[in-house]
Structures are given as C-alpha cells and as structure tokens.
Structure 1
Amino acid sequence: MKSIGLDTSGKMIVKGPQKASGVLTVSGSKNAVLPIMGASLLTDEDVELKNVPDLADVRTMIEILESSGKKIDRIEDRLIIKSSGYINSEIPYEPVRKMRASFNVYGPLTLRKGFAKVALPGGCSIGARPVDFHLDGLRRLGIESTIEHGFVTSKLTDIMGSINISLPFPSVGATEHVLTTACLLEGVKTTITNCAIEPEVTDLVNFLNRMGAKIFGAGSSILKIEGVKKLSGISYNIIPDRIEAGTYIILGKLAGENLTIKNVSADHLNSLFSIFENIGSPILYDDIKREVTVTKANFDILKNISMETSPFPGFPTDLQPQITTFLSLVPGRSTITETVFKSRFYHIDELNRMGAKIRVEDNTAIIEGVNKLSGAPVEATDLRAAAALLIAGLVAEGETVITNVDHIFRGYENIHEKLENVGIDLVYLK
C-alpha cells in the first residue's frame, strides 16, 4: 500500500452486503496538515508535526517542501521539517498539479525570497475553483502576480500601515493563504473579513500563534493579524480528520455492528450529528473517550430529509457524496442542495447504476429511497466520490468493481487495512 500514487487508476472489488464490527481510529486531518506544512516555510527553525496521516497528498506536499529547500524526516506519524540553508521559490508543475492545497506555498515563498513562481494547482474534478480569491487577497498584501504558461509569478512590493481584505466568499484556501502570508509582514496590521471558520482554519491559526504570530479572532469570520519579524519552530499536534470520521460514521449507519470510531471531535461534526438526529437515528458520542459507537440504522423508521451543504458550521460538501449514498436507502424523497461546489454530483450516475433513484436539477439532488442497492461496475471521479461508492458497494447485493479508485488514498490513511480490521473484505488491484 505504501507505493500508491495518483498515476495509476486502481480498482477495488467488494462483495456485499457486509458488516463492520470492531474499532476504527481516525487519523490526523488532511485538510489541516497541508496548509500547516505550507506555513512551515515561514521559519528556518525545526518544525515537528505529530498525528500526520500518511496520504498521497501529504507525500505531494513533502515533495513540494523539499523542492523549496526543506529537509523532511518521517518517523511513524511525525514529520520533522528542517531548513537546508537555502530557499528555492520556483516550484515545478508536476507536484503542484496533483492537489489544490499546494498553491498555498506561493505567498510564504514570496515573502521569504521576494518572488515566487508556482504552477497553477490541480486536484479533484469537482467544478471550477479559481485562485482569484487568493491572488486578490495577496495583492492587497503587496504581492503582485502574473499568470503565464500555466504558472503564477509574484513580485513583492513595499507595503505598510493597515490593510483591510474582504473575501467575496468564505473560501478555506484563500483564508488560509492570506492569513499565513500576513503573519510575516512586520509592522503591518491586516484585517480579513468573511473568513472561513472551518476547524482546519482554526488549527492553522493555533499553529501559527504557537510559532509567535499575532492572530486574533480564531474561530470567527473576522481575523486580525499583526505582522511579526520572525516565527519560531515548534512541535504541534494535528487535529483529527472530521471528514474521515464522518465517512466512517455514515458507513457504520449503513453496515455497522457495534462499530467504534475513535479520535472523533464531536464539535467538528455537529451538522452530521444533527442530520442523523432529524432522520430518527441519533449518534451516541462518548465525550470522555472521544469516540462514537455506531450500529446499522433501522431504515423502517427513518424519516426523509431536505438538506444543503454550506461552509462550516453547515454540512460539509466533503461529506455530501457519502450522505447521498445513505439517503438513497431512506424511504421517501430526500433532497440535497449543493451550495459549495455546485457540480459535485458526478457520483450520482454511478449510484444510479447500482440501483439508486436520484436525479439532479440545477444544484439539487432529488433522491427517491430504494429498498436495496445492487453491485455494479462503477468509476470514482474524485476523492469523496470514491468513498461514497465504496460505502455503496459494502451494502449492495453482489459484486461492485470501483475503477479509478486511487483518488481515495488522497484522503483516507490506510483505508484498506482499517476496513479489514473491522471485518470488511475487499480487494485492491493496481
């Protein structure tokens, strides 16, 4: 499993229905660790990150940091990021094309070197996600950008005093990029409004403040940053991955038999807990142990629901494909309106191949609950779609073959081993 990358399509073969029983432990957050790794460029001192998942995206960010001049040691779930004594601010296309979060090194590299040249980012095919919000915010911070031949080239200009930046949308990536860059503008006071308030943003703020940054308003939509001259190295523990936790909770509601999911932060998943409360299958959370125990829901008594995705604290778009799989089996008509990535419905056709009855009108999926799903050949179009189809395959009758499944290794550490440990039988083929 260690050799899995994104250059092979991969297949998973699963025969259902199956049951999951035992203990699953949630790994560190992918969406938290990636911007934190990028922010390590702001210091020449050693940074130790703990609870780091071993994922394709993390390996890609390691490659980018090494391209920029960092030396990185991995010891189990720890990363030690060290300076090599030089900074390279020109990052090649190959690693950046693999994921969107890679672009967040652009601002920090510009500050450290005075200029940077970074390829435009790639990632999952879930609709247009332009970097305009990033570049507009960075321009207010004195970073002028030029886009040519698929690369963005920056130039740092002098700036002083107070800066006010209002994001047109509470973009997680833009919020993280702008606040990280503003930290090292010594003597400059920056106010960012309409910020994303996702837990991963708060984790980044906490990390930077531990390094010596002066950021105020963590967890709110208004962040105030007082630029400092220098940031220090620290040791920092990454938060649990709420999307991994939510995925396994949904799996448990479909196929669980006293499935225990450990390392869960309930305050990061209130919207998911509310959904299950509203449909008649509450989630029981042990606050002391920080774990959830889940058994298959009684679909005979469940109520249908209308819901929508939205930025935190709303229901996360990254759990929409998985909850769609669940709702495809809930009696009656449910609807999901996607407000974040409006074209994030590529999994719908694949679920319909398995017997679901779902149609899409504009940015809303209309779901007519069916009694069962049937195994079929399907294709994963992105990371979360891959997870949704795997869950569907586990509860469907017969064999499901998921092609292009390697997306899943971008967001779920050791998923093959974790599922096998709770009794799930599946086959992965490169």
Structure 2
Amino acid sequence: MPDTDRRSGGVRLALASMIGTALEWYDFMIYNTMAALIFNKLFFPASVPMIGTILAFSTYAVGYLSRPLGGVIFGRLGDRIGRRKILMVTLIVMGLSTSLIAVLPTFDTIGIASPVILVLLRLVQGIALGGEWAGAVLLTVEHGAAGRRGLNASWAQVGPGVGTILSSAVIGLMTATLDNDQFVGWGWRFPFALSGLLIIFGLILRRSIAETPMFQDLQRRAAVIRSPVGLLLRRHRRGLLAAASSRVGPDVLYALLVVFSITYVNQIDGLSRRVILTALLAGSACGVIMTMLYGWLSDRIGPRPIFAAGLLCGIPVAFAFFPLADTRQGPLIVLIMAAGLGVHAAMYAVQGAIITQQFPPAIRYTGASIAYTFGSLAGGGAFAPLIMATLFRETSSTLAISLYTLAALAVSGAGMLLAARMPDGDDTDP
C-alpha cells in the first residue's frame, strides 16, 4: 500500500507540475495560430496581410515582455511564502486572462479598444506566466529524490507539448467541422473558452499537493531570505547568466518550428491550415515522448551532454526546415516538424535541471524565475516570430531566418561553458 501511495503521489506531482505549462502553451499556441491565420484581420486590419501578421505577433511579444516582471514579483514571493501558494495564484490569473479573450469584441465592433484590451490581457497573463515555470519545476524537484532531478525537472517541460497537442487538436476539430465564415465569426472563440476547464483541473491537483519539503525545512530553520533578489544579484551572477543563456537557442528554434511555420506554410506556400496543424500535432507528440526520455536519460549521463547534442542537431534543422516546407509535400513537412521538435526536446527536457542547479533553495524560485524570463526576453524569444516575419519581408529569403536561429543556438552553447553543476543533494542555502 505505501508503494501504491507513493506512485499515486508521484503521478499527482507530475500532473500538478505540468498543468501550468500545459495551460501556458495551450494558450500561446491558440493565440499563435489565430495570430497567423485570422487575428491580423479581426484585431489588426491592414491592407497588406504581412503587416497585420507582424502587428498580431507584436501582441504575442507583449506576453513575453511582461514575464520578467512576473518573474521578479512571484519569484520573490515563492522564496518568501512558499512554492505551492504562488502556483495557485499564477494558475488562476493565467487561466482567467485566456478565458476573457473568448468574449473579447473584435475591431469591427468596438474599434481601437479591441486590440488595446487584447494587449492588456496578454500583459496580465505574461506577468502570471513569469512566476509559473520555476514553481512548477521546483514542485517536483524539491519533492523528489536528488538522484532523479533530471526526470523530476522534466515534467514541467512535458506541459508545452501536451498544451500544443491539445490546442492543435481543438483547432483542427474546429477547422474540420466549421466553414471559414463560421470559424472567423465565432469558432475561434471556443478554444479560448475551453481553458477554463484546465484551470479547474489544475486547481484541484495543486490543492492536493503539500508545500515542498525543502521550503518547509527553510521555514523550520528560519532560513527564509528576506531579499532574495538582492542576494541573487550579489552572489550568483554567473549562475544567472548561464541559466538565462540556456533559454536563447531553444526558444528561437521553437519559434521557428511552431510559430513562424504557421504563417510561412499557410501564407507563403499556400497550403491549407490542416497541413501545418497535422504537422504540429505529430511534432508535439514526438516532443512529449522525447522530453520524458531525455529527462530519464539525464539522470544517467547528466543534463549537459544531452543539451549539447540538442544544440548541435538544431543547426541542420534550422537550415532544412524551409527547403522541405517549400516542397509543399505534407509528409515531408510532418517529418521535419517531428524531427525538429524531437531535437528541441533534448534541450528543453534538461533546462529545468540545469537552471535549478545554479541556485540554492533559499533563492531558487527567484533565480530560476528571473533566469527563465529574462533569458527568453534577452534571447529574442519574445520577438523571434516578429524578427522572423520582418527578416523575410525585408529580404524575401529564408536564409536570414536560419542564420538568426544558428546565432541563438551559439549563444546557448557559450552559456553552458559558464554553468556550474551542484552535486546531487547539494542544496545548501546561503
């Protein structure tokens, strides 16, 4: 019976960890898909389609720009009052912001107020997201055994794949059952409204999880830090830089495969939405499986060799994507998407382990949150789709986009040379 209880508790922990990132990427993929397909017409009407798309992707960037603020606010609170309480707050705020988009009037109904409200919702949502990821990783890392840190940290990383699969399936169902007028008129709202169910499921899960033993130990020893941000900046700058750099390459590669690809295949290659949605679904399923595999493998050979392999394999993916997409052959597009997201999984699966290894428990929520959010912002994750769309518009060539992705991967590789590795079980607080 105790073994059964431990297994069920482990399942609850894994689900509670991944539900937030699943909701995050469910929303971001819903928004990304709509931004590429119809939001440029509904909220940002323009005579030139690519201009409307750039404006729509700019709103996508707002959700990233506000993340560092959330990382500072919720990271500090997570180190002051606990991981579990903050994760409840971030989930509620994040989910409500997504659900409200479902009832937002379009530009034709209320004019300029429509995109303004959309930007505000993305802003609030981004603040909540800034505190979500680190807490989700720490929930499993600090509850689990030190020897399984790689696998435990990877559960939060499974969430984006699950969210992408769910969003692709929902949008695929809507596009298959509705004609274009129905989809543009009201069908696009349904996927956003569905996020409310994910909130309820996530809150039930997280209420059943206790505060992490490591934070409870900090409270018992009166070792909770009053100013974790200050201590982080004074004594852990190298770890912060290394952790932040791990976000750059994977973020840009992901933006290429999952965000800009929708616009490229649909608007440039002229293929139907169903082709790219099928590729996204297949690629995300591959990414989920590989993320769990790499998480398990990292506890045997270490996270850094896996991350390095992902960086190297990401280079041919960046240069092969567009030639294969230009063939307009569905199976080849599915193949490069699955291969690309499988490669991305090698980097993404071990990010949680690498980032949390840079900081002791007393400032771990703060350090991981700030590194994760500022790393994505500094590396261009916030602007990557916008940069890619602009590069293509200015050069009429995909080579610049591939070179941009290559440069981002190189930054992450350089950052790994700075990364420290705490031995398993070395959780000494400052």
Same fold (TM over 0.5): no
TM-score, length of structure 2 as denominator length: 0.24
Whose relative contact order is higher, 1 or 2, with alpha carbons under 8 Å and at least 6 apart?
2
TM-score, length of structure 1 as denominator length: 0.24
